[in-house]
């Protein structure tokens, strides 16, 4: 039987101390990125697997982070959040334990109780759309961060997309292309996402001396809502030349109405969405220019902050709300406005 590789074997092969190996694999200590990466690479090459039970007894930690979400199994965005968190956790020798409530409060409470019984070190509480959330009081018992949602009481730190920047960036892309009659298709339901994107749109329009044109759908932000809103906008402002849609699904509805009315995208109407949802944005013809949301980065942030909170619960506590910038993904739905 082959001898089990120990931490001293990794230290010898990497040319560092056992303490350095421990810090490198647990995400602790003030090590350079180069040293941490070298130790992790050597550990992987040797097939070293830390003894989690011994480590947990020594540190009084399990090395397990719970991730509680409403739609992990049904939302494409969830995979990016999980991947970001998983990558950051692996770099720190942590494991991720996922549970999905499917928006059932009773199920969620039961799952949280189970995670606490498993003695997880911390919890990521994730939502698949930027909303306000009230977390169960029991989550105050251990380090907890919120992903893609905000605690209105400011008790739990959170990370979200910069919604106002999204609206401003999308609108400025259209303005820079020469468009002046730009409609924003959104929904009536208030919330950080709708309010922030609308504020960014209005800010960009005001900075260029342009009047905002907005439609508000009753339905959820779907292709149907996009169809109805764009049809209404064409009736109100027949001369409009560009659309900033609340999300990619509503942008798809714009494409559908445009095709029915023999309007060409982008020759007759330019369109920008939000999400960078591959099943929509990359499949439309032409491809949809859209603002991508930082789901992977939010997942990484969650683990990085929890790691700091576990190690230094007070001095390294993160700010109440972190807003991450978003990138414009250029495809083919924006064209210069001529004349």
Q: CB of 71 within 8 A of CB of 78?
A: yes
pLDDT of residue 314: 61
Phi, psi for 291 (deg, rounded to 5): -95, 120
What domains lie within the chain, and their CATH numbers?
A: 7-50 (1.10.260.40), 60-160+294-324 (3.40.50.2300), 163-293 (3.40.50.2300)
CA–CA dist 205, 213 (Å, integer): 10
| Full pLDDT tens readout for the chain, 339 residues | 456 777 788 888 888 887 787 778 766 667 888 888 888 888 888 877 665 544 544 456 789 999 999 876 667 777 899 999 999 999 888 999 999 888 888 998 899 999 998 899 999 999 888 888 889 888 988 999 999 999 988 889 999 999 999 999 999 999 999 999 999 999 999 999 999 999 999 999 999 999 999 999 987 999 999 999 999 999 999 999 999 999 999 999 999 999 999 999 999 999 999 999 999 999 999 999 999 999 999 999 999 999 988 887 665 555 678 999 999 999 999 999 976
CA–CA dist 335, 147 (Å, integer): 35
Q: CB of 159 within 8 A of CB of 302?
A: yes
Find the Cα–Cα–Cα–Cα dihedral 172, 177, 181, 187, rounded to 10°.
-50
CA–CA dist 118, 131 (Å, integer): 28
pLDDT of residue 316: 52
Tell me which residue of 327, 338, 329 sits closest to 242, measured CA to CA.
338
Place of tokens 């759309």: 129
**Which DSSP letter does residue 249 get?**
H
β-pairing, 158-161 with 144-150?
A: parallel
pTM of this prediction? 0.80
CA–CA dist 127, 108 (Å, integer): 12
CA angle 304, 69, 24 (to 5 degrees): 25
- The three-state secondary structure class of 264 is coil
Place of tokens 């959040």: 81
pLDDT of residue 3: 64
- The three-state secondary structure class of 244 is strand
pLDDT of residue 103: 81
Residues in the chain: 339
- The three-state secondary structure class of 53 is helix
End-to-end CA distance of the chain: 79
CA–CA dist 286, 258 (Å, integer): 12
Phi, psi for 289 (deg, rounded to 5): -75, 130
Tell me which residue of 305, 300, 296, 314 sits closest to 144, measured CA to CA.
305
pLDDT of residue 56: 46
**Which DSSP letter does residue 271 get?**
E
Strands (E), the chain: 64-69, 95-100, 122-132, 144-150, 158-161, 182-187, 213-217, 242-245, 270-275, 289-292, 321-324, 327-329
């Amino acid at each position: 039987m082959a001898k089990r590789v120990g931490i001293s074997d990794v230290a010898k092969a990497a040319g560092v101390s056992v303490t350095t190996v421990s810090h490198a694999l647990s995400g602790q200590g003030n090590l350079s990125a180069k040293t941490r990466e070298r130790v992790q690479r050597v550990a992987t090459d040797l097939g070293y697997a830390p003894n989690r039970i011994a480590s947990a007894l020594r540190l009084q930690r399990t090395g397990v982070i719970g991730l509680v979400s409403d739609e992990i199994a049904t939302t494409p965005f969830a995979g990016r959040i999980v991947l970001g968190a998983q990558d950051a956790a692996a770099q720190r020798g942590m494991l991720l334990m996922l549970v999905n409530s499917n928006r059932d409060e009773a199920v969620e409470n039961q799952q949280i109780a189970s995670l606490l019984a498993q003695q997880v070190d911390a919890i990521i509480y994730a939502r698949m759309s930027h909303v306000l959330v009230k977390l169960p009081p029991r989550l105050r018992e251990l380090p907890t961060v919120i992903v893609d949602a905000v605690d209105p009481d400011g008790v739990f730190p959170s990370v979200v997309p910069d919604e106002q920047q999204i609206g401003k960036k999308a609108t400025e892309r259209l303005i820079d292309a020469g468009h002046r009659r730009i409609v924003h298709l959104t929904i009536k339901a208030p919330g950080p996402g709708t309010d922030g994107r609308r504020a960014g749109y209005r800010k960009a329009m005001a900075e260029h001396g342009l009047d905002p044109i907005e439609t508000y759908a009753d339905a959820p932000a779907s292709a149907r809502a996009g169809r109805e809103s764009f049809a209404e906008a064409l009736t109100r402002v027949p001369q409009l030349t560009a659309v900033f849609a609340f999300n990619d699904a509503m942008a798809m509805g714009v494409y559908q109405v445009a095709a029915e009315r023999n309007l060409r995208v982008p020759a007759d109407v330019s369109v920008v969405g939000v999400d960078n949802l591959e099943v929509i944005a990359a499949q439309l013809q032409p491809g949809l220019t859209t603002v991508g949301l930082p789901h992977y980065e939010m997942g990484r942030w969650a683990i990085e902050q929890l790691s700091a909170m576990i190690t230094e619960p007070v001095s390294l506590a993160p700010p109440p709300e972190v807003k991450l910038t978003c990138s414009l993904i250029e495809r083919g739905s924006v064209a210069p406005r001529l004349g």
